[in-house]
Structure 1
Amino acid sequence: MSLQLREYKVVGRCLPTPKCTTPPLYRMRIFAPNHVVAKSRFWYFVSQLKKMKKSSGEIVYCGQVYEKSPLRVKNFGIWLRYDSRSGTHNMYREYRDLTTAGAVTQCYRDMGARHRARAHSIQIMKVEEIAASKCRRPAVKQFHVSEPTLQWLLDEGISPEWYRFALQPKKGQEPNLGACVHDYGI
């Protein structure tokens, strides 16, 4: 998944039959790069939950959901399930982002980096905007103070002086080739 994910609302149902003329509608919140993948994921999830598949059903509505306030930074809690090499795991993660879709995209990237979880093996169960007081993870909580510090540097034992030195632009130097010169005594 190289694209930013988008949030879609997909509504589908079984095709009407003589036995059931008005089948119930099923609505899902799907995160996908485009509407084609969103519909495909809808059928994947709905076939697991209900006795329904694409050949015997129809999509009633598929539309993109837009963020109400995309200029305000929010905290998001994401509940997910993923399949690893050893089994299925449930997980709760927190992210800070402007949009829900941005937080879910961060989650997919993070799961791939930290747990080697592929996108197809991750199932997002619930995404919720959470208040600063309800946040649990230190990576998110460090931004809730009035003067944020890079606390992880201090926790790692890295002094702020060293960090300032590391960020300073380096002056150009000639490469030291002394170790590469060989004297064979010929």
Structure 2
Amino acid sequence: MGRFTEYSVIGRTLPTENTPEPKLYRMRIFAPNEVVAKSRYWYYLRQLKKAKKANGEIVAINVIHEKKPLKVKNFAIWLRYDSRSGTHNMVKEFRALSRAEAVEAMYQDMAARHRARFRNVQILRVAEIEKKEDIRRPYIKQLLEPGLKFPLPHRRTKSKAWYAANRPVSGFHPIHSSHDYMLPGLKLVYPISNKMMNVLYWVNGLIKAVD
């Protein structure tokens, strides 16, 4: 799946004579687009409230944006997934900028470690861990140490350049290429290459010869 977005989906069953005003059910769904978000909404609602898409409707679907997208936060995700041998519950911790990025990292981790597909993972709860003492995973704790430093294992040093990369100019040019170059009715204020400068000198000589 692609990058995930957090959606707030609100739906209900269709009104009937017995229930003219049915209840509204809201869910926070993580999905790559609105189509998948609606599909997952009806998947959960069918299991929880015995409501089908054929007998229901989506009232509203909105995108939930992160309040502080530039702050790195620690998240805990409670999930349930179906493996080849059974159903398992687990809690995972991630460090990300938003809830959607943490969920995306969770799906990547589940696919790598447990071969879990997107359809086999059910997110139960996503919460931000505000206190440092509440973090339990060592791979998250090691990133919270003060004065944290990272090694530079592959540093490629460059030797001093003994030869010039540009073609040398043997002639004397009183006007530097980065300065202004004056021609009758023309003023250049941007850098000029040596080849272009020679052309301008040649044109200037022709103009003087004609005059």
Q: C-alpha displacement at 1:30, in angstroms?
A: 0.2
**Matched residue, 2:49:** 50
Separation in 2, partners of 1:112, 1:92: 15
Q: C-alpha displacement at 1:149, in angstroms?
A: 5.1
**Matched residue, 1:176:** none
**Matched residue, 2:16:** 17
RMSD: 1.5
**Matched residue, 2:155:** 168
- Matched letter for residue 125 of structure 1: L
Separation in 1, partners of 2:83, 2:96: 26
**Matched residue, 1:182:** none
* TM-score, scaled to structure 2: 0.71
Q: C-alpha displacement at 1:168, in angstroms?
A: 3.4
Separation in 1, partners of 2:25, 2:143: 38
Separation in 2, partners of 1:39, 1:129: 25
User: Unaligned regions of 5+ residues in structure 2, if any?
Assistant: 159-211
**Matched residue, 1:107:** 106
> Aligned residues, how many?
157
Deviations 1:37-85 (A, max 9, x none): 1001000010011121000000001111000000100000000000011
Matches within 5 A, 1:59-70: 59-70=58-69
CA contact (8 A) 1:8 1:32 kept: yes
Q: C-alpha displacement at 1:143, in angstroms?
A: 1.2
Q: Per chain length, whose mean CA-contact separation is higher, i.e. which structure has more relative contact order (CA < 8 Å, sep 6+)? A: 1
**Matched residue, 2:3:** 4
**Matched residue, 2:82:** 83
Deviations 1:142-173 (A, max 9, x none): 111112256xxxxxxxxxxxx75x523499xx
User: Unaligned regions of 5+ residues in structure 1, if any?
Assistant: 151-162, 172-186
CA contact (8 A) 1:142 1:149 kept: no
Question: Structure 1's 93 and 111: CA in aligned 2 closer, same or farther, altered over 3 A?
Answer: same
**Matched residue, 1:142:** 142
The yes-or-no answer on 1:96 pairing with 2:95 is yes
Separation in 2, partners of 1:77, 1:118: 20
Deviations 1:99-138 (A, max 9, x none): 0000000000000001111111000000000122211001
Question: Helix, strand or coil for the counterpart of 1:143?
Answer: helix
Matches within 5 A, 1:19-38: 19-38=18-37
Separation in 2, partners of 1:19, 1:101: 39
Point out the structure with max Rg over C-alpha.
2
Separation in 2, partners of 1:121, 1:167: 40
Separation in 1, partners of 2:79, 2:31: 15
Question: Structure 1's 89 and 170: CA in aligned 2 closer, same or farther, altered over 3 A?
Answer: farther
